[in-house]
Copies of this chain bind each other. A is one copy, B any other.
Amino acid sequence: MEENRPLILISNDDSIDAPGILRLVDCCPENADVIVVAPEVQQSGKSSAITVGAPLRISAKPDYRGARIFTVSGTPVDCIKMAFHAIVPRRPDLVLAGINHGSNSGCNVIYSGTMGAVTEGCNQGITSCGFSLLQHSLEADFTMCMPFVREIIAKLLANPLPDGVCLNVNIPARVTPLGVRTCRAARGYWTEEYRKYLDPSGNPFFLLTGRFVNHEKDATDTDEYWLDNKYIAIVPVNVDYTDRDYIKPLGEYFDL
């Protein structure tokens, strides 16, 4: 760890056991120091959840290609917060998350633990970016996207993002991407969300399932559109969720 080298902090939501996080380390430039702080266990769907009132523990793991590896017994946001509090030796230049096994396009950004980590990095004032491959399997093949990921990381290191904006990068699976496109998240939601079961006593329980329905199938400026067309879709995400255009109309709504 040398003071004058860029420092990259990496997390994810699939846990330290997911191959995607090591592929992200592989995409970092050789002149950078890399520290991985990942959840001990699977944290998919944890959004920006934080652990309140329960203890968090840090464990050091063996290095990987010069990167130092730690796990935290919490959520992706816990990982970033704990990293800042107790692990990183200096302020990181970049916070990255992924490469996620599965999509975080459309409204999935809301539930994504990957993007929870990214949002947290951004809120701490660091240029932050999440990467997700549209292939859920742990055997997902990252080779075709890695040159693009490498290039995006190099760009982010050279040119910090504006304060309050982070990136959600989604990558088509099983193809060499045709390029990258910047766009907005498609509106849509999940449907047929639960399957019902009966336990041995005859009491019902439910497991999450369902499929994502894109409500904007005809739009040509969304992440879903570009992913369908084999491009990497990059959506800028603002960590201030205020709808600024609606503040004034809302004042009229309340007769103020």
Contacts and interface: CB of A to CB of B under 8 A. Distances in A.
Copies, count = 2
A50 B112 CA distance: 9
> Interface residues of A: mostly helix, strand, loop or mixed?
mixed
B239 A235 contact: no
Interface string A47-65: 1111111111110000000
Nearest to A106: B240
A46 interface: yes
Contact of A56 (B46, B54, B205, B243): B205
Nearest to A250: B182
Contacts of A197: 55
A155 to B, nearest CB: 7
Contacts of A202: none
A256 B165 CA distance: 19
A164 interface: yes
Given A51-B208, A56-B206, A119-B110, A237 B243 contact: yes
A208 to B, nearest CB: 6
Contacts of A107: 123, 239
